[in-house]
Structure 1
Amino acid sequence: MVAKKNPGRRVFVVGVGMTPFTKPKKDPKEGPFFTTLGVEAVERALEDACIKDERSLVESACVGSMFTLGAGQRVLYDCGLYNIPTFNVNNACATGSNALAIARQNVASGMADCALALGVEVMRPGSLGGGEANGPTSLDHHYKVLNDNYGLTKDPPMAQFFGRAGEEHMKLYGTKPEHFAMIGEKNHRHSRNNPYSQFRDVYSLEQIQSSPKVCGPLTKLQCSPTSNGAACAILASEDFVIKHGLQGQAIELVAQSVHSDSPEVFKSAEGKALIEAVGKSMAQKAAQDAYAEAGLTPDDVNVVELHDCFSCNELITYESLGLAKEGEGGKLIESGNATFGGKYVINPSGGLISKGHPLGATGVAQCAELCWQLRGECGPRQVPGAKVGLQHNLGLGGLVVIGLYRKPEEWVSIPPKRKQSLACGAESSKL
């Protein structure tokens, strides 16, 4: 899935839908259950794609969930979707965009004219833990890098990875703790206008900095929470779009690249061991491939949904995506060019830090936000003049998915087929 390989037919997102992201309940029996979340997201996407009454047009599906194996068929049967190839995927925090990538492949290859991608997750309260100690885990190699360089502490495991990476960036480039805090402030501020967001409170920079310490430069308000939620996207071929009159709402997924870690990640590069372990190089390689496939550059991008599981990762990823030069991620956030009024608007949804992070749903929710933005349907959180969107979804273990989205110029004058967008419709959720 790199630029040198022929991606095949053009692929468009014609419908998206999601549930509000919410705090997990202490008692899982209180719900909501993954079936309830998944069905709501699918039904919203089918309605948005104007095929709610013609759902048999969906020819394949890929469903991502970290903690519910086989969620796909269970949800889709409740939606009346039978007799189609259904793929269940599990790929850490990149699970949702992994599902999206497979759905895109199905359409691009000609296997389907219409495919569905769904991400759904129900999580436990509290910080995300590590692997079990009684056998191999998916993060053994990554934990070795962390342990060899810093040792393991009692801090939340994921915060150790990203907090140490932030410390390395500070030592290498002079980045300051307040640069990371600025990212937390920005993303909480952005989420104020997102009714799907788990948190909608706005905090001052001082409040972000003075919230409880977690690990390294990270404070609590710079860390993504555990969350419940679901998101769905309907992808289609160009012929399907035209046949069903969906040009006015179709957003082209013009490029997508998927990479895993390189062997160099596990050689503990001096001074950058954790920066590499949390995905810097694989994101850089995937971004380069996606730009090449799309014939675009970072300067063409207007709006970005970036995997800010921790503020440190957002800053480091600015550089991987070419939004800032090596070592200058701090300058980007400090300049105001990562928020409204700047060169880019990064995480207008509030990102993972404030919108929430139901692992399997995150990648598809990023797709939904970018499609709404490029349609111009986000109301008070709309990025003015947004034409090109960039998606970055990361999973330690490791996988990164980069996508580039664009509203087709040839269809700009065509109004959407459906009566109204669901971009700001979370208030009407059944949950």
Structure 2
Amino acid sequence: MDRRTVISGLGALTLAGVPGVAAAAPPGHRKVPKGFLWGSAISAHQSEGNNVNSDMWLNETVPGTLFREPSGDACDSYHRYGEDMRIAASLGFNCYRFGIEWARIEPRPGVFSLAELDHYKTMLETCHALGLSPMVTFCHFTTPRWFAARGGFEAPDAPDLFARFAGTAAGHFGSLLTAATTFNEINAPRLITVLAPGSEKARPLIDRMLAASARACGSDRFGSWIFADAVRIEPPTRIAHVKAYAAIKAAGPAKVGISLSMQEFQPATGGTAKVAALNRALYDTWLEPSVPSDFIGVQTYTRVMIGPDGALPVPTGAEQTDSGYEYYPPALGAMVRYAAQASGKPVFITESGIATGDDARRIAFIDATLAEVRQCLADGIDLRGYLHWSLLDNYEWTRGYDHRFGLVAVDRKTFKRTPKASAHHLGRIVKSGLI
């Protein structure tokens, strides 16, 4: 659970001779297909800072919050997006996935800020000027505070309001918008109940936090999408995606996809039927032809062992990331194949990464996941790109700033960006033209 200052100075970072930088991909590796997108992903709220009109900003600061710390200035990417993009371009990337913040663009119902629309339009222009193909996320877990105070996506007209926002923004961006996803991890509310089997016990704490946010707004309700009841929120989210897809497509030439959190479910003893049921409920329902999309964005971090009653703990002795996930890179290849076969559509890896303070493990993770990418391409899978999560060490929602996914370290006081050895390592691979 992503900016801003147009092109000026800072020149390309020199990669040659940087300590810890690995050699380019060795001979014998596959040549990267023409048009393959290499890049990094980032979200608005997690990196921009001071997203004060959003539902999440309020949730972070009310009494009884579940958030370890507020987002505050985040990475100040709202003002420093140009520097971030130049770093990405210097690494050889040709794609940059970022989010636009609905709460900034429509701070009050029906009132659209031309200044903010122009801000994001300038971001798109900067991407193109740097040779980065932009992929824009229209909702990365956050919504305007006024929208949440109406009940969020559970309000009867919520899908129409989201489509109005999406169409307005896409119309303003025009041909600069080349690719987009409506929601980040549209299946996330339901997946949370699987990945965190005890999450139902947190429901009273979530409801208390949302009630405090409602009171702060003078409302009797507060609907934050990521904290919503999965059964209630899924139908209106589906309608919102369908309507936003149509609105974005009507506004310009962009390819519009669906982004899914796709962790690999593997059966333990007695778990085969449960795995099939989870795949149907969490993935298949979004991959069927009735859900419009031009591509599928796969976001895979781990595998989950499944018994007859659901998710099991990480196997004894298995390495875990700082997020508590099992370190299991082969899951990425499995889920790329699953998405391609189930949907029959092109696939992008819109997120792949690891939370760790040990950058050597990040390098190893990159190598292992790229081996999966290489094999998928060898097998003829229509895989169009690999985007690493995340460019920056940014705000990680309820876990605050302790979990570091970034290729680039960010000083919390000065906002100085320092590319890690893993950034240079991935950059050398990208520039080699091989995988």
TM superposition score normalised by structure 1: 0.31
Choose between structure 1 and 2 for higher RCO, CA contacts under 8 A separated by at least 6 residues: 1
